[in-house]
Amino acid sequence: MFILAAIAIVSLLQNVKQSDTITNDEFQKYLSEGKIESLEIGDNVIIGKFNESGITSRQPKASKTFTVGYRPDLLEKLIDRVEASPQPVKWSFAKPQWLMPLLSWIVPLAIMIGFFYFVFVRNARSGPGGMLMSFGRSKHKMHGKEQMKVTFNDVAGIDEAKEEVAEIIEFLKHPKKFQKIGGRIPRGVLLVGPPGCGKTLLAKAIAGQANVPFFSISGSDFVEMFVGVGASRVRDLFQSAKENSPCIIFLDEIDAIGKKRGPGFVSGGHDEREQTLNAILVEMDGFDTNDQVIVMAATNRGDILDSALTRPGRFDRQVFVPLPDVKGRTAILKIHSKKVKMGPDVDLERIARGTPMFSGADLEAIINEAAIAATMDNKDFVEMEDLEEARDKVRWGRKKRSRAIDQVDKKLTAYHEAGHTLVQSMLKDADPLHKVSIIPRGPYGGATFSLPEKDRTHYTRKYCLAILQVCFGGRIAEEFFCDDISSGAQADIQTATSLAREMVQVWGMSQTLGPIDFSAKQQEYFGMSGQEHSQKTAEVIDAEIKKLIDETYNGAKEIIENNREKLQMIADALLKYETLDAAEVKIILEGGTLSKPTVGDLLKAEQEKQSTPPPIPTETPENKSTDTSGDNK
């Protein structure tokens, strides 16, 4: 409304002033030439109008107005010259103007008053601060008691973490039990663990189990471009929580604002992030004994949090939420599979064994991908092959059967994967083989999958040496059977180098260096990090890593050299079938033959299926009768 009024008044003022301003000399000239039709004489200005002969070429056949200033003391001489014009000129004195000058200062003032009324008065009705002050209000989401449907029954794979936070549920349910004895429940609980392990789900389950409101906000939501906004939002969040206690405040990704504070010339001084962190610390210190508010936070990087945040009285309880073991993965798969129709051949425990280092989010993705695949294949339920394919898709990427593969590359990939397969099958300290495939997935031309019998808490030296030999099996097979080497061993070399470095620098598995930690330290001073050993020791470390690589490389080379025929049979089978499971590899190593269709047979059957026209529906007596009756109508 105010904008429209402003546009209207500006337009009106512009219309009034749509005239040319001329000089006194030009006015005398036009007057003497008889080009002026009429004049309206004001206090110190004249508004005139040209006649037809005075119209300029810019606006032909149209009236043209002009303005010219004059001295009031020369008014009589001006009237005499007007009367002496060769063409009659109509002239008159202008009526006093009061409306336009009044509007020229009243309307802008009214617009300003209306704007301030809209901002400060009207928006004050919407709550403290209104729209202008909404920057300082917290962006948290509040879930009431009736909305928290997640309980501990929906959380699996982190039993130890559930046991550790059980006392918090008891405190929220029965706070007087703790107050009676004089115990103080932890003010804050910090959930630390890899991404996708269920930290947020665990926090929601605590609120659902205790039947209390749940306030959630991300650490990045506190920080804005305006200084002080984060601290204001912290105060607003804690005030809302206290008004709804007992409740839980959940700060997700707290490392966004809780990083360690350093010297001003390194960290940028007291910036907005540090002010927000200080506000959180002050609010947690300000809890009364009877305040039934539990602050929970989640992070993937507990090592970078400020020590003031993790001291007793604040986030003094740190709960590690690890990746699930095989038992936990089985339980997680069972929870997610309740929503999906599963076939009788589904073995979730086998899937769990084949997914080491998978998080709960990864396992949920496997179930979902399997359900999608079964739906696309028009199946009534999810089968084991759908789950196997979904697991490989989540880990390695989607199959790329449409990728045009040169036969030379396909042959090289077959020998490469056959080398991995042979070495892994021959080493008793390596994980059991699951399957091998030369079907491209993601950036990989093929892959050899293992199926660990159990989760490993510790890596033995023999197991690590076996992994190194398996890594080099592909490169050695390329040397022996392709007379060349390729970049396909890039990932294998990276894995082997990283593992060998860990064995020497961190795990103390070098006989020369002994059990000494030579790992790079995480602490940084003034933005720089350094090593705590000499250059000579660094050279010894490099030599020990090279020694491990050479020993395992030669060990894998000896295995392949002594089993050339077996590797050749595995490679031929891969070229023929593209994918082999552990049982089929065992048959090949024992000299047997496989009785399953080859890739060529499958392609031929698919082509015949596509080329065969659909059967023509036969005309039944009922259909004929129906058609006839329709024709008669």
Report the C-alpha gap between 318 and 307 in whole angstroms: 13
Question: Interior CA angle at 104 toward 102 and 106, to 5°?
Answer: 65
Strands (E), 247-370: 247-252, 293-299, 317-320
- Say which amino acid occupies 506: V
Taking alpha carbons only, the member of 239, 237, 247, 176 closest to residue 210 is: 247
Looking only at the bridges linking them, the beta strands covering 188-192 and 141-143 are unpaired
Residues 364-390, buried b or exposed e (16+ Cβ, 10 A)? bbbbebbbebbeeeeeeebbbebbbbb
Strands (E), 199-265: 214-218, 247-252
- Tokens found for residue 460: 């033995």
Tell me, yes or no, if 478 is annotated catalytic.
no
Catalytic, out of 37, 383, 417, 584:
417
Looking only at the bridges linking them, the beta strands covering 188-192 and 293-299 are parallel
Report the C-alpha gap between 191 and 502 in whole angstroms: 27
Place of tokens 């080493």: 427
User: Environment class of residue 541 by beta-carbon count within 10 Å: exposed (0-12), middle (13-18) or buried (19+)?
Assistant: buried
336 contacts 330 by C-beta, under 8 angstroms: no
Q: 93 has which bridge partners?
A: 41
192 contacts 321 by C-beta, under 8 angstroms: yes
Cα dihedral sign, 11-14-16-18: negative
Distance of CA 226 to the CA centre of its chain: 24
Report the C-alpha gap between 2 and 107 in whole angstroms: 10
Q: Helix, strand or coil for residue 21?
A: strand
- Tokens found for residue 463: 């197991």
Give Cβ neighbours of residue 399 (< 8 Å, ≥ 6 apart): 389, 393, 439, 440, 441
Report the C-alpha gap between 436 and 453 in whole angstroms: 17
Q: Which residues are catalytic?
A: 417
